[in-house]
Every structure is written in structure tokens, then in C-alpha cells.
Amino acid sequence: MTTTAVTESGAALALDGVSRVYGGGAPALDGIDLVVPRGRLVAVMGRSGSGKSTLLRCAAGLERPTAGRVRIGGTDLASLKATALTRLRRDRIGFVFQSLNLVSALNVRENVTLPLLLAGAREGRALDALALAGLDAVGLADRAEDRPESLSGGQRQRVAIARALVNEPEVVFADEPTAALDPVTASGVLALLRRAVDEQGRTVVLVTHDPVAATWADEAVFLEHGRIAGRLDRPDEERVRAALGVRTETGRQPAVAR
């Protein structure tokens, strides 16, 4: 227990016995223990219904667990009232969710500055410069004044990443950010998340079905029936496929590489 406590204290994200039950059904999450150190990219994988999105929503403070504890940078989310939790999500978390699309009434630059404006920053040149630097990092500075609908799917995801990173969040949560993209565009988007980790020391939790996407992660965590069924360090495609395939075919746990 002491080791866990020490590890968790330096973690960007720590889940401690997190469960989530909806109605009278089987738990969507069932006693999840997960520590994500700062500066790591972790892929959460598993079959449909295994609890990936529920884990992301609980970890990101979008939903309260039924039991257990979630900490972001040492802050216990259960200790926060609704307003403080909203503030934490706004100031300390970045989201790249399909359901949190870009705002079509705003141009690309305004979309990127939105989290900072919501956090109370004043409009002006400094803010614009920050947005342009963020857009430059994702290769889209020249599209700053365009509307999101004039961009391709991959370009929109890159804007979403620039927006998620603009407030220098402690954790970025990405839910299937490449699901609708072709493989080459998907690699470009994943490379940006990887760069945010390697060059800016960000921490990213990525939900994905895609074994290729998982190879960009430092670690893949496999869920099954709301539990962690296995983990792979430095996942490669073959081992991820094997891990997913083994469970799909036989229900056995995947090989664990640690």
C-alpha cells in the first residue's frame, strides 16, 4: 500500500477502486485501480461495452463514480462541489471528444481560445498569439480565420487537439479521436498527441478500438466487463491484437508484459 501511495502522489491521474453502476445492471466499472504518471500516453482498450467511455467520464470528472476515488494531480474529485468540479475540468483538463465538437459559430482561432475565455482570460493580442502558436503546432495557423465546417475531419481533430492543449492541462482525455479518419490522417493526429507528451510533458489518456493507435501509447490498458484485464508496456500492434483476440475468442486474459 505504501508503494501505491508514493506512486500516486506524483501521478497526473489516479483511480483507486473506482466503480460505476447504472440502475440495477452489472457494474460498468468494477474496482478500477489505475495510476497514470505525468508525461505518459496511456491507451484504454477493450470490446464494446467493456467500460472505456465510462472510465474516461469518471476520470475526467464528467460523471461521479458509485464507489472509489479519482484524483487529478492529487486533487480528490469527490471533495469538490459541482462548481469547483466544473472549474477543475475547465482549467486542468483537456478534452478531445467526438461529442464536444468545435463551435460552428466561431472561427478556428476563436475555438482554440474558448477554454481560456471561459476560464476568465481577456480577449486580445496575447490570447490570439497563444491560439496561433497552438494552431501552428498542429500545422493549421493558416486556417485560423476559417470556420470549422470548411476543414476536413482530420483538420478539425487537429484544431480540437490545439484547443485541448491551450490551457496546458494536467491530463488530456481523448475518446476515439481517430475513429472517423483514414489511417494516414489518423497517424498525423496521434503524432500530435505523442508530441504533446514528449515535448510538453503532457499526460494523455486515449480511448481507442484501434490496435495501430495503441502503438503510439506508452502503455495499453485492457478493460473487460468493467475490470482491468491486462496491461502492455510499449504496446506493439501484434501484441495488442493478440491481447484483444485472446479475450474475444476464449475470454482468457491477455499476456501481461510486466
State which residue, 57 or 158, has the beta carbon closest to ligand ATP.
57
Residues 6 or more apart from 176 whose CB is under 8 A from it?
A: 98, 207, 208, 209
State which residue, 49 or 188, has the beta carbon closest to ligand ATP.
49
Phi (first) and psi of residue 70, to 5 degrees: -115, 130
Give the bridge partners for 93, in sequence order.
171
Q: Kindly list the residues in this chain that would bind ligand ATP in the complex (CB under 6 A).
A: 22, 28, 46, 48-54
Taking the complex as a whole, the smallest distance from the CB of residue 227 to ligand ATP amounts, in Å, to 12
Taking the complex as a whole, the smallest distance from the CB of residue 240 to ligand ATP amounts, in Å, to 15
Taking the complex as a whole, the smallest distance from the CB of residue 81 to ligand ATP amounts, in Å, to 22
Taking the complex as a whole, the smallest distance from the CB of residue 93 to ligand ATP amounts, in Å, to 18
Taking the complex as a whole, the smallest distance from the CB of residue 55 to ligand ATP amounts, in Å, to 7
Taking the complex as a whole, the smallest distance from the CB of residue 202 to ligand ATP amounts, in Å, to 23
State which residue, 51 or 148, has the beta carbon closest to ligand ATP.
51
Taking the complex as a whole, the smallest distance from the CB of residue 244 to ligand ATP amounts, in Å, to 12
Q: If you count them, how many residues does the chain have?
A: 258
State which residue, 101 or 104, has the beta carbon closest to ligand ATP.
101
Give the bridge partners for 44, in sequence order.
207, 221
Residue 94: in which H helix or E strand, if any?
Answer: strand 93-97
Strands 227-233 and 219-224: antiparallel
Name the one residue in this structure whose C-alpha cell is 492529487: 74
From first CA to last CA, the distance across the chain in angstroms is 19
Using a 10 angstrom Cβ sphere, with 0-12 exposed, 13-18 middle and 19 or more buried, the burial of residue 231 is middle
State which residue, 26 or 126, has the beta carbon closest to ligand ATP.
26
State which residue, 8 or 30, has the beta carbon closest to ligand ATP.
30
Nearest to 8 by CA among 67, 51, 56, 69: 69
State which residue, 193 or 207, has the beta carbon closest to ligand ATP.
207
Give the three-state DSSP class for 230.
strand
Phi-psi sector, 201: left (phi>0), alpha (psi -120 to 50), beta: left
